Structure 1
Amino acid sequence: MITGSIVALVTPMYPNGELDWEALDQLVEFHLAEGTDAIVAVGTSGESATLSVAEHCQVIKRVVAQVRGKIPVIAGTGANSTAEAVVLTQEAKAAGADACLLVTPYYNKPTQEGLYQHFAHIAKAVDIPQLLYNVPGRTAVDMLPETVARLATVTNIIGIKEATGDLARAQSIVDQCPDDFVLLSGDDATAVELILLGGKGNISVTANVAPKQMAELCRLANAGQSEQARALNNQLMSLHQALFLESNPIPVKWALSALGKIQSGIRLPLTELSSEFHEPLKLAMEQVGLVSQSRV
């Protein structure tokens, strides 16, 4: 069910920080038209950390309604409180999400046993397919492959978004987990190599602005067409890198605004892209054939 290019969708906002529902609907339609295989609503790129619980649930419901069952919708429902993550996951199930994506509990720095108990508790509390999400660069906690392998035996924990970019780590997960456990990349630059190792797809920041290219890249990699997949990835590499000139989703929201897809709104403590990075990001966009209709 969950394979290919999965966009980590941004949450559009007006300059005053209010949510822009019309732009959200239009982004969903854009991805449906461009061949994106699935959508993550309210993940890191969707500014989950700055949305209220009510807004979080509203965005999930809106995306599910707009997708109309055409592709899977994965709801970001992780939290640093286990109880809050259960509530968000329950709300996502009620909204009709196909699966949930749960980040490791940030700031708390739980032990590996704490991580196991956290995710096992949520999986047992809510009957919906669940994906783990390991991104130690943002959370200050690293879920080791041995813990992932333990969790892979828990009913309805179906896979992981592994965002370290460490291919040895990815191989270890493939080796230790069941064949039907879904390994997804969370790092655009190394996604092709992870898929070629046995991964199933990529939860992508780059797909926000280059959805057709990322869908093709994942299709080629999943088909084992390594030479073509790597060649396309090389063409996209400058964009992958430019989208992290500052913390995600700062650059990607600026890029979407420059393309006329959304307004410039972003919530504190995140700020708009620093002016020194405008030209490097524009150049990277131009290099992959994205024509700017700049508003900024």
Structure 2
Amino acid sequence: MMKVVWQGVFPAVTTKFTDDDKLDLKMFETNIQAQLAAGVNGIILGGTLGEAGSLMVDEKDELVSATVAMVSGKVPVIMNVAEQTTKAAISAVEKAQKNGASGLMLLPPMRYKADDHETVTFYKTIAKSTDLPIMVYNNPVDYKIEVTLDMFEQLAECDNIQSVKESTRDISNITRMINRFGGRFKVLTGVDTLGLESLFMGADGWVAGLVCAFPRETVAIYKLQKAGRHEEALKIYRWFLPLLELDITSKLVQNIKLAEVATGIGSENVRAPRLNLSGAERKHVLQVIETGIKNRPELPDYLNL
């Protein structure tokens, strides 16, 4: 098991499917190798972008063990856990660990809108069930439960709750976390359209979406910003923003998979009930992608910064 350092760029990768709706591990590996070559710091499986809600349990198992083999110790593999019950979450954590995951991204309970006390208890119970490091996924916009600063105060008792994927959309929350907890929790931004802004405010990393199609550009922005080359980072980010906006809609999976096709590192297949984009919607997304690729910036030698 690799040690997880919660900083840098962590792609929330898409799950690839064949035309007959099986896991497409060949195309998946093509994408993973592109991520590694671009210099990402970890791989996150089974998030929203990974179509976790549509995956069977045995597929999740296969995905974790296959990814661990693909990265062969270069970066940690993080499994997202999004379950309705504490019992199911503990079971998912056990399986992830058995299959070689080095860390977890953990959502609050799904479906049931737990109150603050229930949510804290949920996180603590799962943290106590494992020695894997945990990143709290704080996304009240999509999942209706906010993990507040007072709740983080209680979660600080669990040593293996180490970081937060900050997706509240409130950019000030990064400063609040740092002011209150110093470096106790690593803060990673989880919203593509606030990526660079969050890094400027002191975020340690970026759990990214469009990185799936544009790994080099995403890592370049991160590395340039951390090296104090703000103007260069900003220039690439301004080019990137129309593409990043494809991440903040309910069709983000379809959008990003189309972008992966355009950059040669993915396929369009999604799993029902999702359907491929069609008509005017598809035309618009392809136009955004085409414009982005046409104006793709020259990148400096960011890996050696």
Post-superposition offset of 1:50: 0.9
For 2:294 and 2:270, the matched residues in 1 are separated by 22
Post-superposition offset of 1:184: 0.4
For 1:266 and 1:286, the matched residues in 2 are separated by 21
Contact 1:37 1:215 in 2 (8 A): no
For 1:149 and 1:162, the matched residues in 2 are separated by 16
Give the TM-score of the pair, scaled to structure 2.
0.89
Amino acid at match of 1:264: E
How many pairs align?
Answer: 292
Amino acid at match of 2:38: E
Match of 2:167 among 163, 170, 183: 163
The reply to whether residue 191 of structure 1 matches residue 183 of structure 2 is no
Give the TM-score of the pair, scaled to structure 1.
0.92
Distance 1:275 1:255, change over 3 A: farther
Equivalent position SS for 2:10: strand
Q: Over aligned residues, Cα RMSD in angstroms? A: 2.0
Equivalent position SS for 2:162: strand
Post-superposition offset of 1:245: 4.8
Which residue of the partner structure matches residue 12 of structure 2?
A: 8
Which residue of the partner structure matches residue 98 of structure 2?
A: 94
The reply to whether residue 177 of structure 1 matches residue 181 of structure 2 is yes
Q: How is 1:113-124 mapped onto 2 (pairs within 5 angstroms)?
A: 113-124=117-128
The reply to whether residue 42 of structure 1 matches residue 55 of structure 2 is no
Equivalent position SS for 1:83: helix
Match of 1:147 among 146, 151, 154: 151
Which residue of the partner structure matches residue 274 of structure 2?
A: 270
Percentage of matched positions with identical amino acids: 24
The reply to whether residue 30 of structure 1 matches residue 8 of structure 2 is no
Which residue of the partner structure matches residue 130 of structure 1?
A: 134
Amino acid at match of 2:136: L
Which residue of the partner structure matches residue 230 of structure 1?
A: 234
Post-superposition offset of 1:198: 1.8
Encode CA deviations 1:190-227: one digit per residue, 9 max, x unaligned. Answer: 12121222211111111001100000111122334333
Structure 1 unpaired stretches of 5+? 292-296
Encode CA deviations 1:82-121: one digit per residue, 9 max, x unaligned. Answer: 1111111111112222211011222211011111100111
4+ residue segments displaced more than 4 Å: none
Which residue of the partner structure matches residue 67 of structure 1?
A: 71
Structure 2 unpaired stretches of 5+? 296-305
For 2:113 and 2:37, the matched residues in 1 are separated by 41
